[in-house]
Amino acid sequence: MGKADVNPVQTRVAVLISGRGSNLKALIAGQQSGGSYQIALVVSNRSQARGLTIASEAGVPTRVIDHTLFDGREPFERVIDQALNEANVELVCLGGFMRVLTPWFVKRWQDRLLNIHPSLLPAFRGLDTHARALNAGVRVHGCTVHFVRPELDNGPIVVQGVVPVIEGDTEQSLAARVLETEHRAYPEALELITSGRARLIDGRIVVEEGWAGGTIWNELAG
């Protein structure tokens, strides 16, 4: 993967990760295809996160901030906040960041903090979303990119990716289909926000007139 482009006009974005960084990779690809954002920093709470390698190969600066070295969540988040400010970050994306954020951090980055969740919110908040979707017998499932609020998996929705639930699906096969759609939905949502085509007004996302996006359909059945 080539070096990340640097453009002072682009919105400076940080991505917080804990693991493989597959959504980070998709966001980097979106930037490299001419996006309105620049990934200026990747922060991981785990030094062995594979996403750190993805970032380094793309020329994106990285920081490891180990949550186990802090006495509580807020002290840990204050160091993250300092790193974000030092990098002049304007917007933060959670990309598989396996830490529940405190209200302090969420409010500090109010309307500048995006998350992707593997369900069609408000359905199936929390964990084990694919198993719960199968157990509920829903016909469609998917992912949601939303602005973060103190309440878990809640906040204004930017983009949703929808996948069919196929007869015979397992938790693993459904998860794989959803993940593929996440890799389309997250770059689109970030581009919408940073380009100004989507704005947060009175607690909901409003897109510019004439643009019909907001839902990504994945019709793959296998």
- Crossing angle (nearest 10°) for helices 22-32 and 171-195: 40
Q: Catalytic annotation on 117?
A: yes
| pLDDT one-digit tens code per residue, 108-160 | 999 999 999 999 999 999 999 999 999 999 999 999 999 999 999 999 999 99
Q: What is the mean pLDDT of residues 195-204?
A: 94
Residue 69 CA: distances (Å) to CA of 16, 63, 100: 17, 15, 16
Q: What is the dihedral of CA 44, 49, 54, 59, to 10 degrees?
A: 40
The CATH 3.40.50.170 portion of the chain extends over 1-109, 115-222
pLDDT band at 222 (very low <50, low <70, confident <90, very high): very low
Judge residue 168's burial from the number of C-beta atoms within 10 Å of its C-beta, 0-12 exposed, 13-18 middle, 19 or more buried. exposed
- CATH fold, domain 1-109, is Rossmann fold (3.40.50)
Q: Angle CA(77)–CA(83)–CA(88) in degrees, nearest 5?
A: 125
Catalytic residue among 117, 141, 146, 183: 117
CATH class of 115-222: alpha beta
Q: Are strands 62-64 and 113-117 parallel, antiparallel or unpaired?
A: unpaired
Output phi, psi for 29, to 5 deg: -60, -40
Residue 177 above 60 pLDDT? yes
Q: What is the mean pLDDT of residues 67-75?
A: 97
Residues 6+ apart with CB under 8 A from 190: 13, 27, 30, 35, 37, 91, 93, 114, 145
pLDDT the model gives residue 210? 60
pLDDT the model gives residue 180? 97
